[in-house]
Structure 1
Amino acid sequence: MNTDLSNDSSNLSGFPPVVNAQTHTLILGSFPGVASLEARQYYAYRHNQFWRLISAVTGEDMASLAYEDRLPRLLAHGFGLWDVIDTCDRKGSLDTNIRNAQINEFAWLREHYPALNRMAFNGKTSGKFAPQFAALGFTTVILPSSSPANAMRSFEEKLMEWKQLQSN
């Protein structure tokens, strides 16, 4: 794969889900940004507030941990990660630039992860899929995006809504 993803727009692939038997809430983004694709890490862009938000929600400082230590801690709190989009064409990191999106297959989740009962959408783009998940029997919540592109809202304003995740 091309290592300079900022101008590459074709055949981008997302990541596998981070989920285990104890996962009760799957946090769904739209598709990884350039920094995340290059690092092969969810929410790798240093200005994305995801790790700060989930740290505040769980009461555990995951933001200061190395990435490989964050994921087991996230799972220990019952949270998983994935994206709605599996593959797409996109220049840069903005969701508005996504083209030819192929959606991940989600039907198998219910069978393999019976504790999973809630889908939390990180932003409006992924949130467009909330009705489909609600129809499958999942509780859904659309959260303000942790992306720096969502600069209209302060960290504190976002956190007030992200705190919905504290109750399962």
Structure 2
Amino acid sequence: MKLKSMPPVLKGEPLLLILGSMPGSQSLEKQQYYANPRNQFWKMLSDYFRVDLTALSYESRKSYVASHRIALWDILQECERIGSLDSAIRRESFNPISEFIEANPSILAIGCNGTKAFQSLKKYEKEKTTLQTPAVKLPSTSPVPGKNVLSYTEKCDVWHTFIHQYLKGAKS
């Protein structure tokens, strides 16, 4: 089945760009990033900011993240996939990440949500351009366990360290 990614969550001058690979079926159906209630993305951000984002509407979640200078998007623009697993992705094409970074020069770093997003970004760079913005592979927030299974606390440590490194002096 051919899938298309969603538009980025963007407002103001973001400092961080969080890139997923391609939203899962629940996210695409609802047109909401990280819509699967078992995905840990919103819970991890809730723990970092000490605000229960999971209790907010999706529009409020987007506004909250954007107000804290975080943009959300996906590395893949289109792909073929049956189901929601990254391992099932075929015939992928990329979103114009370099143009996005050029249009948003405030972005200091890219956090790739999982291995597939990171590998796809590296493939994009080989095919399209070399990004000057540092990219970090973060543990996937997906509810599907990966090869290197980390506890929720271990994942939070990595994510929170990454976020704090770039947002620590920023004013919302």
**What is the TM-score with the length of structure 1 in the denominator?**
0.88
Q: Does 1:88 align with 2:86?
A: no
User: Where does structure 1 lack aligned partners over 5 or more consecutive residues?
Assistant: 1-8
Asked whether 1:160 is paired with 2:151, we answer no
User: Matched residue of 1:167: which SS?
Assistant: helix
Q: How does 1:29-44 map to 2 (within 5 A)?
A: 29-44=20-35
Give, as a single letter, the amino acid of the residue that structure 1 aligns with 2:104: Y
Tell me which moved more, 40-49 or 158-167: 158-167
Q: Is the 8 A contact 2:78 2:94 kept in 1?
A: yes
Instruction: Decide whether the 8 Å contact of 1:88 with 1:101 is kept in 2.
Output: yes
- Structure showing the higher helix proportion among its residues: 2
Is the Cα contact below 8 Å between 2:11 and 2:67 reproduced in 1? no
Distance change (3 Å), C-alpha of 1:92 and 1:150: same
* Distance in 1 separating the partners of 2:13 and 2:52: 20
Aligned to 2:107: 116
The code of the aligned residue for 2:164 comes to Q
Q: How does 1:138-153 map to 2 (within 5 A)?
A: 138-150=133-145, 152-153=149-150
Q: Distance in 1 between matches of 2:59 and 2:11?
A: 16
What's the CA shift string for 1:87-113, capped at 9, x where partnerless? 111000000000111111112223321
Superposed CA RMSD? 1.8
CA separation of 1:57 and 1:129: change in aligned 2, threshold 3 A: farther
Contact residue 76 and residue 95 of structure 2 kept, 8 A: yes
- What CA distance in whole angstroms lies between the structure 1 residues aligned with 2:156 and 2:79? 29
Aligned residue pairs total 159
**CA distance in 1: counterparts of 2:28 and 2:121, whole angstroms:** 24
Quote the residue 2:131 is aligned against.
Answer: 136
Q: Is the 8 A contact 2:75 2:121 kept in 1?
A: no
Deviations 1:114-160 (A, max 9, x none): 21121000000001145439942112211100001126222111101
Match of 1:55 in 2: 46
User: Percent same amino acid at aligned positions?
Assistant: 35
Q: 1:155 is matched by which residue type in structure 2?
A: Y
CA distance in 2, matches of 1:37, 1:86: 13
Give the secondary-structure state (helix, strand or coil) at the position aligned to 1:53.
Answer: helix
> Secondary structure at 2:62's aligned position in 1?
helix
Structure-2-length-normalised TM-score: 0.86
